Amino acid sequence: MRITLLTCGTRGDAQPMVVLALELEDRGHDVVLGVSPNLLDWCARAGVRALPLGPDSEAFMTSPRGQGWLAAGNVRAFMAALAAESTEHAATTLLELRALTAGADLIVSGILAEDGAAAFAEAAGIPLVTLHSFPIRRTSAYPAALVTPRRLPRPVNRLTHRMFEQVWWRGVREEVAGIRADLGLPPARRSTARQLAASGATEIQAYSPLLVPALDDYGPSRPLVGFLSPTAELRERLGETGVDPELSAWLDAGEPPVYVGFGSMPVRDPEEALERVRRVCARTGRRALVSAGWSRFVASASDQVRVVGALDHDAVLPRCAAAVHHGGAGTTAAVVGAGLPSLVCSVFADQPFWGERLVALGAGAHVRFAALDEDALERGLRTVLAPAVVDRAAGLGAALRQEQGAVTRAADLLVGAASPVAG
């Protein structure tokens, strides 16, 4: 089959799709991946054929407008920024979607691309499968992540999802109407989420039931398969394998450090943030290993704080004592899998959800990044380094490492969703 995978956003959004694309290619399928243009070279290194889709996510996230949105960290700011960015690139995105989906037997979409993807799948008469990294559809088990991270009564949890769905649809409805008109389709009467639910479309939940239990109202069309984490082979292709001898010597030269990394979330004042880490390390007697990500931390080495670029999480995290991170799904999976307690410093989207999940599981602490001053960082570190939290994180990590076959199950579901049409 020819399978089109669509995603927008940062590496965290694209990485599960890359993992899935490689599995599908190994099975003999013809795969093309649509990603933000700044990730095309990264996909090429991974060995996945990719075409541009949507705006440059790194340019937006590091721009003054993007930085202001990140600082706001609320759903209204998120939707306003997303709608403005989508409208600005709507004409180009339409052409990109045409190129990506031409001749496809199946479309697989991440959250940020699924509204346009649904229109193209409908026009072509082919299935659409969505891939979700957290519970974004209606459920009584958890609140809508972009509304609140707080656990609420079950009926109220479900209400927050309904609210979010309405806000989301208002933000994308005009763009979707333009896409549907261009494809010769009538205006949509319902949101994409409602259309997919009514059709019984497969919506793969790419996260672990160990971290997100009790989703008993999702049913067979929304299967939990586990995290789609990068393989050792993929890390080797990306040049992110092992630990260089100099870093390894530093790791061995003292107590295990605290890992600090915010991935694709740029830090507005990296010098101040790094100095904050240094001061807290001095107060707690800890060392820190800082991974720069998209932030402009200057690489440096010292006895107490070391700044480095991209790392092999599988090789480095087990040699650390705890992790301070933004709470993206991929980073959360890597940290939990390594058996480390987490201090999640969330910025937006699903990050507060993952922070609160780790608190509920006894494997971490959570603070909003906007509130992460020196005292909050110290309190958070002391909390997650307490013996009970360390032990709980170790046990959770051991259980997560026993989960196998997430990528195989996801690929099987895709083939199953497409087989009636392909046949």
- CA–CA separation, 210 and 214 (whole Å): 10
pLDDT digits (tens, 9 = 90+) for 179-222: 999 999 999 999 999 999 999 999 999 999 999 999 999 999 99
Q: Is the pLDDT of residue 146 over 90?
A: no
CB 7 within 8 A of CB 130: no
Q: Region 108-136: what's the mean pLDDT?
A: 97
Q: Is the pLDDT of residue 73 over 60?
A: no
Q: Specify whether the CB–CB gap between 84 and 68 falls below 8 A.
A: no
SS3 33: strand
Sign for the pseudo-dihedral over CA of 278, 280, 281, 282: positive
In the three-class reduction of DSSP (H, G, I as helix; E, B as strand; rest coil), residue 36 is classed as coil
At 284-297, the pLDDT tens digits run: 999 999 987 544 55
Report the distance separating Cα 341 and Cα 116, nearest Å: 38
Instruction: Check residue 12 and give its pLDDT.
Output: 87
Give me the pLDDT at residue 300, please.
56
pLDDT at residue 423, as a whole number: 43
What integer pLDDT is reported at residue 418 of this predicted model? Answer: 86
Which is more confident, 277 or 412? Answer: 412
* Closest residue by Cα to residue 279 from 192, 204, 372: 372
Q: With contact defined as beta carbons under 8 Å apart, do 343 and 326 qualify? A: no
Q: 3-class SS at 47? A: coil
As given in the structure block, the two tokens for residue 332 are 């959360």
Q: What is the residue-averaged pLDDT of the chain?
A: 90
- Of how many residues is the chain composed? 423
**In the chain, which segments carry CATH 3.40.50.2000?**
2-226+404-422, 240-402
Q: Which two tokens stand for residue 78?
A: 């998120």
Instruction: Look at 131-145, 148-162, 264-278 and tell me which has the smallest mean pLDDT.
Output: 264-278
Min mean pLDDT across 259-263, 375-379, 382-386 is at 259-263
- Round to whole Å and give the CA distance between 192 and 109: 12
Residue 376: what pLDDT? Answer: 94
β partners of residue 2: 30
Q: What percent of the chain has pLDDT over 70?
A: 89
Q: Among 85-99, 243-257, 266-280, 357-371, whose mean pLDDT is lowest?
A: 266-280
Of 2.40.50.140, 3.40.50.2000, 3.40.50.720, 3.30.300.10, the CATH number of 2-226+404-422 is 3.40.50.2000
Q: What is the DSSP string of 272-315?
A: HHHHHHHHHHHHHT--EEEE-TTS-PPPB--SSEEEESS--HHH
345 beta partners: 367
Q: Residue 265 above 60 pLDDT?
A: no
The CATH number assigned to the domain with range 240-402 reads: 3.40.50.2000
Four-CA torsion 82, 83, 87, 89, nearest 10 degrees: 10
